[in-house]
Structure 1
Amino acid sequence: MDISTLLQGSHATTSPSGQHLAFISNGNLRICSAHAPEQCTDIKIRILAKDMIAIKWNDDGSHVAVVSARNIEIVDLDDASHRVRLDNGGAGLGRFASADFVGKTQLLVTWEFGKAKLWNLSNGRGVELCDVKTTCDGESWQVRPDRSNAGRRTLAVLSRPGADDLLNVYTPDLHKQLSSVRIPTADARSLSWSPDGRWLAIVDSPMAPLSVHFFTPDGHHFRSQPTSEDSSEGLGVKSIVWSPDSQTVALTRYDGRIALLNTKTFTPLATIEHTTTIDQRASPAHQQAPTWQEAVSASGERSYIAAAQPVSPPLSRTKPSTEPSELGVAEACFSCDGSYLATRDERMLNSVWIWDMSTLGAHAVLIQHSNVRKLHWHPTQSDTMMVDCGEGILYMFNASSSSPPTSLTTSMVGSAVLSWLPARSASDSTILASTKSCFTLMWPEGRPDVPEYERAVSQEAADEPFDEGASEDSLFDVLSGRKPLPPRSTQSYTERIDIEVETEEEDSTTRMDDTFREKKTRIPEPLDPLDDSDIF
């Protein structure tokens, strides 16, 4: 396994294509290539690092938004001098709670007190979305997947103007509301589109008799679950998980069961239960799922043994809990093609069940030495899963083989969060391990080689002196080696412009500042930071 050098930076976020990373370092926004993270391009920003909340990419990876509680700064990577800034003004509606791209040129901004606004970055116009639910457990809005690549998408938003929940459907590019439907929920907690965009599911309060409602894309109610035959006492559905092929949906419950439904009629296919004792001795040998248990020696060496059945995984808590977040299914996730489903139970957080969707039976059980923090299926390899136990160790498991998981020690501390980068091919396997202050990239199958043409262009660009020229060059050209970095002896354009021209506020709360080249007044002398005469 190849590991990159440890890079200092916070909020490391990958682009949708997985080719680039954005992070904050020394007060600058840095963009680097996923295959060569040591080579970075710095972009000066005005938001302090301590105030930052997140970094967000748009769909095609051409814009990056740096989000803070009071300001949002959007950088065009094709022209770094072009900036769009959102200023919260007097913060009459509270701080910025979140900001996410809707497509390529739309930015949805929400405030902590419930207001939301959809900004068009190309023309500076904003459309208010009233009474958006900001206290949901999951997503209160989501963009419909566009499998046809038509470019026009619809946005589904949960709102609550009064005593009832509403489902609002918008077309962001046309600034038009298609429908607003009152939904039969007591207190909707989240919504999600199926991967093919044919269905919209809304999860209700777990105490409601019908916990999940399925709608068509135009907002018509189709069916609710569980039915009267499937209902039971206690809390209902905890969350839903769609299979990548949109053929199956899994409903996780607070009683530890998982109901699998087909997405044509939403009728039950099977019910999965996590037992505290694994005993398959009554089943034929070819139907018994192997149970691998991790063992740690006194010297710290880790290995796996085939546990003899019956085996009882250790319980995570000695006393039963009454908190809803600590009951039922802790996690459920499908592999990239939907052939496997990995699950965990809140009672046994160190145990991972893997189910074969073709047979609807148990495929394997992994019992870790420590509690599992997160499960990650490979983005393109359907049988490869990474287990993160929060110990700075990679556990890789191949579901199609009969071998136990393999452990790979990393150089990161135990608090590092592990995740796969989006892959462009089946052979592209890159893992991001990040903490609050640093990160590194890992390649379990070896770091991919840079193509010959990129190496040739990079070498040719390195031999040429830097010439800024009259036109703006893309940052992607710099990252790929088509243009060398400018010398640091002179300040960059954005560093020379440290004065923001006050523009007329579009409303009393938020203003949008669009900064262009040659439209700023140059100040020959530096400003006094203690001069607050403009305040009065």
Structure 2
Amino acid sequence: MNFSEVFKLSSQLCRFSPDGKCLASGVQYRLVVRDVNTLQILQLFTCLDQIQHIEWSSDSLFILCAMYKRGIVQVWSLEQPDWHCKIDEGSAGLVASCWSPDGRHILNTTEFHLRITVWSLCTKSVSYIKYPKACQQGIAFTKDGRYMALAERRDCKDYISLFVCSDWQLLRHFDTETQDLAGTEWAPNGCVLAVWDSCLEYKVLLYSLDGRLLSTYCAYEWSLGIKSIAWSPSSQFLAIGSYDEKVRILNHVTWKKITEFEHPVNIASPKIIVYKEVEKSPAVEVEKLTFPPTKKMASSLFSTKSKYEIAQVPVSLHHVKPAVDRANPRIGVGMLAFSSDNCFLATRNDNIPNAIWIWDVQKMKLFVILEQLCPIQLFQWDPRQSRLAICTGNSRVYLWSPAGCVSVQVPVEGDFQVTSLCWHSSGDSLALLSKDNFCMCYLEKEEEDVK
């Protein structure tokens, strides 16, 4: 495993291009585009204000930079660096901006979610979509880029509008049986749209492309409901993480529950492997100590090494007591993701913040638990194989595969705490992000993870 030098970064704005050839990063009001292999700067663009959001077009030819405070979006071209586009929403303001799947239209959401403006880079035409709902996942595109689902709120009722992305014509418009719609997500095959209610009511609705309600799922009533949702890459399973600390798996044939996964604090079964991260300080021979210590000796004196050990069951996992009298309590399954090959599901129960649970999807049972020393900030699957990268806000990156798991110290001088990460599309490298910097981590192809 090799690491690059450290580069400056603002607001964790670091994105690989879809074709995997470039890496864009935001540094204050500058957009820096680097070659992925050499990390040499290919283009340097200067924006009108501090960049708050960057996004590549689907064909990797354009980059969108949004400056929400100013209500401005600037678009830059890699093929023609002299060309650029500026979109000013004026007094309407700007709270969100994204590309359409064709990479030639930009969707801007104005303040107070009054409307969405669709700007065409080709014809310079403008279209307006009214009544977008203010929710976390209000816009969803199918994977093939043909259709867009938009959550709407009008007359105190929730609706879904389906648009054809090629000409922005309305395909279907229907109301949903939700009290307060919280999000929408297409199945990867683009045939089914999942719509779910706010956490105050447990309800998942599944719609077909023609607007028919295929099924409604409700696990329980009169308690906090859904916290997270994830489709399997095959579209066969829908995983629903809830505030009751369980994940329920629905199948794509009947949309009924196949099984549910629990996240108990105490692990008693000897069949479950629990990898526990432990820190050990290196042994220093007292006779060889000098004063003042050499630089090498000083670093070894204060450095700690981390590794995984298999814990003896029964194991009691570290947990926190949630403040149930406050909004958004730290309880329930807040993170879940299927591996790209559909073999595993990784979950985190927010009141057991240091543990990742990895489930075998084929056998529908728990495969392994990893318990870290620090709370998990983020985990992400390798886009090509069953390999999970984890960061916990310290100077290490962790990798798990069915062969085992490994803890790697990021060999960077100074304070580099990995708070986020993202995989390159090849699965051969990772971008590791701290608050103000980023570096690349290169994995050797034949490298096998070991305990």
Q: TM-score range by the shorter chain?
A: 0.7 to 0.9
Report the Cα offset of residue 397 of structure 1.
1.3
Structure with greater strand share of residues = 2
> Which amino acid is 1:356 matched to?
D
User: Who is 1:224 aligned against?
Assistant: 216
Name the CA distance, whole Å, in 2 between partners of 1:212 and 1:155. 19
- Please state if 1:385 is matched with 2:368: no
SS in 2 for 1:189: strand
Relative to structure 1, is the Cα distance of residues 324 and 296 closer, same or farther in structure 2, using a 3 angstrom cutoff? Answer: same
Relative to structure 1, is the Cα distance of residues 32 and 195 closer, same or farther in structure 2, using a 3 angstrom cutoff? Answer: same
Name the CA distance, whole Å, in 1 between partners of 2:309 and 2:393. 21
Cα deviation code 1:187-223 (max 9, x no counterpart): 1011000111111011112223x51100011222111
Contact 1:372 1:387 in 2 (8 A): yes
Relative to structure 1, is the Cα distance of residues 325 and 111 closer, same or farther in structure 2, using a 3 angstrom cutoff? Answer: farther
Please point out which of 26, 33, 36 is paired with 1:34. 36
SS in 1 for 2:95: strand
Contact 1:58 1:101 in 2 (8 A): yes
SS in 2 for 1:32: strand
Name the CA distance, whole Å, in 2 between partners of 1:46 and 1:236. 42
User: Who is 2:140 aligned against?
Assistant: 142
Contact 1:238 1:252 in 2 (8 A): yes
TM-score with structure 2 setting the length: 0.88
- Please state if 1:194 is matched with 2:187: yes
Name the CA distance, whole Å, in 2 between partners of 1:63 and 1:216. 33
Gaps of 5+ in 2: 283-303
Gaps of 5+ in 1: 147-151, 282-287, 449-536
Contact 1:18 1:421 in 2 (8 A): no
SS in 1 for 2:336: strand
Contact 2:217 2:256 in 1 (8 A): no
> Which amino acid is 1:30 matched to?
V
User: Who is 1:361 aligned against?
Assistant: 365
TM-score with structure 1 setting the length: 0.74
Report the Cα offset of residue 348 of structure 1.
0.8
Name the CA distance, whole Å, in 2 between partners of 1:81 and 1:353. 49
RMSD of Structure 2 on Structure 1 (CA): 2.1
Contact 1:5 1:440 in 2 (8 A): yes
- Please state if 1:206 is matched with 2:199: yes
Please point out which of 253, 260, 268 is paired with 1:264. 253
User: Who is 2:67 aligned against?
Assistant: 68
Name the CA distance, whole Å, in 1 between partners of 2:322 and 2:216. 36
SS in 1 for 2:340: coil
Report the Cα offset of residue 291 of structure 1.
1.0
Report the Cα offset of residue 157 of structure 1.
0.4
Please point out which of 228, 232, 254 is paired with 1:239. 228
Contact 1:17 1:422 in 2 (8 A): no
Contact 2:388 2:401 in 1 (8 A): yes
Contact 2:191 2:208 in 1 (8 A): yes
User: Who is 1:334 aligned against?
Assistant: 338
Stretches (4+) displaced over 4 A: 318-322
User: Who is 1:423 aligned against?
Assistant: 425
Contact 2:35 2:42 in 1 (8 A): no
Contact 1:76 1:83 in 2 (8 A): yes
- Please state if 1:396 is matched with 2:399: yes
Contact 2:227 2:334 in 1 (8 A): no
Cα deviation code 1:31-51 (max 9, x no counterpart): 1111111x1123443412xx3
Cα deviation code 1:201-251 (max 9, x no counterpart): 11112223x51100011222111112xxx4254122222110111111101
Pairing of 1:106-121 with structure 2 (within 5 A): 106-114=105-113, 115-121=115-121
Report the Cα offset of residue 422 of structure 1.
3.3
Contact 1:2 1:446 in 2 (8 A): no
Please point out which of 14, 28, 36 is paired with 1:12. 14
Cα deviation code 1:321-362 (max 9, x no counterpart): 654342211211111111001111122110111111111111
Name the CA distance, whole Å, in 1 between partners of 2:47 and 2:349. 45
Q: How many residues align?
A: 419
Name the CA distance, whole Å, in 1 between partners of 2:238 and 2:445. 35
Report the Cα offset of residue 413 of structure 1.
3.6
Name the CA distance, whole Å, in 2 between partners of 1:75 and 1:82. 7
> Which amino acid is 1:389 matched to?
T
Relative to structure 1, is the Cα distance of residues 318 and 100 closer, same or farther in structure 2, using a 3 angstrom cutoff? Answer: closer
Contact 2:138 2:150 in 1 (8 A): yes
Relative to structure 1, is the Cα distance of residues 391 and 126 closer, same or farther in structure 2, using a 3 angstrom cutoff? Answer: same
Larger Rg: 1
User: Who is 1:406 aligned against?
Assistant: 407
User: Who is 2:287 aligned against?
Assistant: none
SS in 1 for 2:133: coil
Report the Cα offset of residue 3 of structure 1.
1.3
Pairing of 1:294-305 with structure 2 (within 5 A): 294-298=277-281, 300-305=304-309
User: Who is 2:157 aligned against?
Assistant: 164
User: Who is 1:456 aligned against?
Assistant: none
> Which amino acid is 1:75 matched to?
W
User: Who is 1:55 aligned against?
Assistant: 54
User: Who is 1:493 aligned against?
Assistant: none
Q: Which structure is higher in RCO with an 8 Å CA cutoff and minimum separation 6?
A: 1
SS in 2 for 1:113: helix
Report the Cα offset of residue 436 of structure 1.
4.4
Name the CA distance, whole Å, in 1 between partners of 2:236 and 2:322. 38
SS in 2 for 1:348: coil
Cα deviation code 1:282-320 (max 9, x no counterpart): xxxxxx121111111245222222211111111134766
- Please state if 1:3 is matched with 2:6: no
320-329 or 348-357: bigger deviation: 320-329
Name the CA distance, whole Å, in 2 between partners of 1:26 and 1:157. 32
Name the CA distance, whole Å, in 2 between partners of 1:47 and 1:55. 14
Relative to structure 1, is the Cα distance of residues 62 and 363 closer, same or farther in structure 2, using a 3 angstrom cutoff? Answer: same
Identity between Structure 1 and Structure 2 (%): 22
Contact 1:321 1:327 in 2 (8 A): no
